[in-house]
Structure 1
Amino acid sequence: MERNTGYHTRQKSMIYQYILDNRQRHITATDIASYLLAEGTPVGIATIYRYLDKLVEQGEVRKYTMDEKSSACYQFVEQHGACALHFHLKCVRCGKLIHTDCGYLQEIDKHILEHHGFHVDHSKTVFYGICQDCSRAEEEK
């Protein structure tokens, strides 16, 4: 289960498993705390952040900080590291963070490198707007 996370506790195992089970999406420390509480194993938010920081330091989890107002998001790092290769979209209404695997954006990335000599950090590159679900909900009103 855990690769190299030091002292092993039931709470750490549950946090790690939650991250693995949700590896296809970005999660917050609050998401983890809510899950653990619902499972009958409440863990302090500071403990969760310390463990997340350790996982980030070990390269098992990637941390996304969007802005000063939003909580950081975390995601399990798959072995192939594909998340470092694409841009992200953030909905300003619901807060959803979306991975984009898009040839057009890859061309923009290539253009920026070739014509401007600039390497884009995809873990920090986010386009802000309104997601499809929120747009639909607005149209239905």
Structure 2
Amino acid sequence: MSISDLTPHDLLAEAGIEDTPLRHQVVRLLSEADRPLAAPDILELVRREQSINKVSLYRILDLLVEHGLVRRLSSPAPPDRAFRYCLPGGGKPHHCHFYCTRCRKMECLDCTEAPAVLERLASGRGLVVMSSDIRLDGLCAECASKAGLEP
């Protein structure tokens, strides 16, 4: 069963986290998102349905990250140092992302080949890969087109 098959209640229970209305909503919003979201974006979305302050949101996000339910992703150096948050795709430990250095959007990538590549890299050194954090930086298709570049 993949993450997409589970409800926010199921995900919270599986992670050993009490299902409160705000936690439930944050997990639901992340599960519905088509890309990793920055905390200000999550805050705005939550506030459309119920009241929450920044401190409460960051505590919820920290709790979800601590329990391994949500991944916290960094973006490159200035001007955008905002963390983004997402649910690991389909429950797979190898989940990749692309960050556009121009428009600052981050998106999820299908990394079905990553485990085999990482295994080859690690096996020769006696390493066992439990998870990975792969982020590619560059220009998204829209920004590359505006810059007159081809992929």
Q: TM-score range by the shorter chain?
A: 0.7 to 0.9
Q: Distance in 2 between matches of 1:100 and 1:40?
A: 29
- State the TM-score, normalized to the length of structure 1: 0.72
Distance 1:86 1:21, change over 3 A: closer
Per the alignment, residue 25 of structure 1 pairs with: 35
Q: Name the TM-score, length of structure 2 as normaliser.
A: 0.68
Q: Secondary structure at the match of 1:139?
A: coil
Does the Cα contact within 8 Å between 1:61 and 1:77 map onto a contact in 2? yes
| Further displaced range: 27-36 or 92-101 | 92-101
Q: Secondary structure at the match of 2:147?
A: helix
The reply to whether residue 65 of structure 1 matches residue 74 of structure 2 is: yes
Deviation for aligned residue 1:28: 1.4
SS of equivalent to 1:113 = helix
Residue 16 in structure 1 maps to residue 33 in structure 2: no
Q: Which ranges in structure 1 are unaligned for 5 or more consecutive residues?
A: none
SS in 1 for 2:132: coil
Q: Distance in 2 between matches of 1:107 and 1:6?
A: 36
Aligned partner of 1:48 in structure 2 is 57
1:76-111 CA-to-partner distances (Å, cap 9, x unmatched) read 235x522x3244321101122233335776665344
The 3 A distance-change label for structure 1 pair 138 and 58 is same
* Runs of 4+, deviation exceeding 4 Å: 102-108, 114-121
CA distance change for structure 1 residues 53 and 136 in 2, over 3 Å: closer, same or farther? same
Q: Is contact 2:70-2:88 (8 Å) kept?
A: yes
Q: CA RMSD in A?
A: 3.0
- The amino acid that maps onto 1:46 is V
SS at match of 1:41: coil
Residue 76 (1) aligns with residue 87 (2): yes
